[in-house]
Amino acid sequence: MKPLIRKLLPILGVVALYYLIMYLKSIKVMNPYHIQVLMFAGVNIMMTISLNIVNGFTGQFCIGHAGFMSLGAYGASIVTTMIFGGFSVAPNLRIPVFLLGLLAGGLVAGAVGLLIGIPTLKLKGDYLAIVTLAFGEIVRATLRLIEPIGAARGMIGIPPYTNFAWVLFFVVLTLIVARNFIYSKHGRACIAIRDNEIAADAMGINTTKYKIISFVFAAFIAGVAGGLYAHIMSFIQPDTFSFVKSSDLLVYLYAGGTGSLTGSVLGGLLLTVLPEALRTFGNLVNWRIVIYAVTLVIIMLYRPLGLCGGKELPLLKINRKHLYEKSIFSKKSVHPSETPN
């Protein structure tokens, strides 16, 4: 009975959180603006988790991650707006069309991630960072030239299908899938590459293969997050997904803590809500970006490993003994101490 209760508690907690937010909205404690900020935070959490899979758990330095988000945003919007007609979709078909659009956005981003990953993930360090940066800018520049989707003007008329319930659902689903990925032999291989790529290669691990797997998986999540974002805003424009957006995601990741799903949640939530919360403080409005930057400096000075320092909340913590026993590395003489935090 206790294991069953332990498994049900996170689900009950998520349901309780949703109804608490809806109750606060009904009594006017929270307004639609607050809900929208929370939805943006949810999208940023998903993006941070996806970036963490590449940078934190695989040890590759990607700095053009907003490119995958833009592909997902445009891919999902083309399906829901241009193929199915957007606002003219029958009410009973809106959810299936929306989910199909998100799937399409994720698949487009994942497919491009595969095409980019095959030639580039043989690179290391600064060279990989430069290539991923160039990729993000190539995607943005290309979207600015495609007239049927609005070119530089952007794409309008996207139906606002995304609501708080959908964002919460996909954030929880992303956490579950990411945690299970880390549990899997693929996740263990990625962590081994992060810790010592030469040793992992010597143990017979196909390092390029597993780097591509993590890259494609992260790109798919980013594509779905981009689709959610597009259907919050009802308008997307290529410059929204510039290098500035990619650098914001890096800030969320390293402030929260690399190699930690809890850090991804905390970094994405805190650093999305903080600038908006400072808007409410009258004279501090004009200083909010300065305060935001000073907060980041303080975090890096006193918590150089991020707010979570590689640690996880109990619900996201990985059972090290169980992980070692189930991993392919238990058969390859890898010491069980080489497990994720």
Taking only the tens place, the pLDDT of each residue in 45-94 is 999 999 999 999 999 989 899 999 999 999 999 999 999 988 888 889 99
pLDDT value at residue 319: 54
Instruction: Answer whether residue 141 shows pLDDT above 80.
Output: yes
Distance CA 194, CA 200 (A): 9
Within a domain: 19: no
Within a domain: 209: yes
Distance CA 224, CA 203 (A): 35
Within a domain: 27: no
Within a domain: 28: no
Distance CA 281, CA 277 (A): 8
Q: State the average pLDDT for the chain.
A: 87
pLDDT value at residue 315: 67
Percent of residues, the chain, with pLDDT higher than 70: 88
SS (H, E, C) 26-82: HCCCCCHHHHHHHHHHHHHHHHHHHHHHHHCCCCCCCCCCHHHHHHHHHHHHHHHHH
Count the Cβ atoms, other than its own, within 10 Å of residue 279: 12
Distance CA 189, CA 206 (A): 9
Q: How many domains does the chain have?
A: 1
The CATH number linked to 98 is: 1.10.3470
Range of the domain at 253: 35-331
pLDDT per residue over 283-310, tens digit each? 666 777 788 888 888 888 888 888 887 7
Within a domain: 319: yes
Within a domain: 132: yes
Q: What is the pTM of this model?
A: 0.89
Within a domain: 22: no
CA distances from 262 to 38, 265, 317 (A): 17, 5, 9
Distance CA 262, CA 112 (A): 28
CA distances from 135 to 65, 152, 219, 225 (A): 9, 18, 13, 19
- Strand ranges for the chain from DSSP E: 155-156, 235-236
Distance CA 123, CA 127 (A): 6
pLDDT per residue over 44-57, tens digit each? 999 999 999 999 99
Q: What is the DSSP letter of 123?
A: S
Residue 341, H or E segment: none
pLDDT value at residue 329: 43
Distance CA 130, CA 132 (A): 6
Within a domain: 341: no
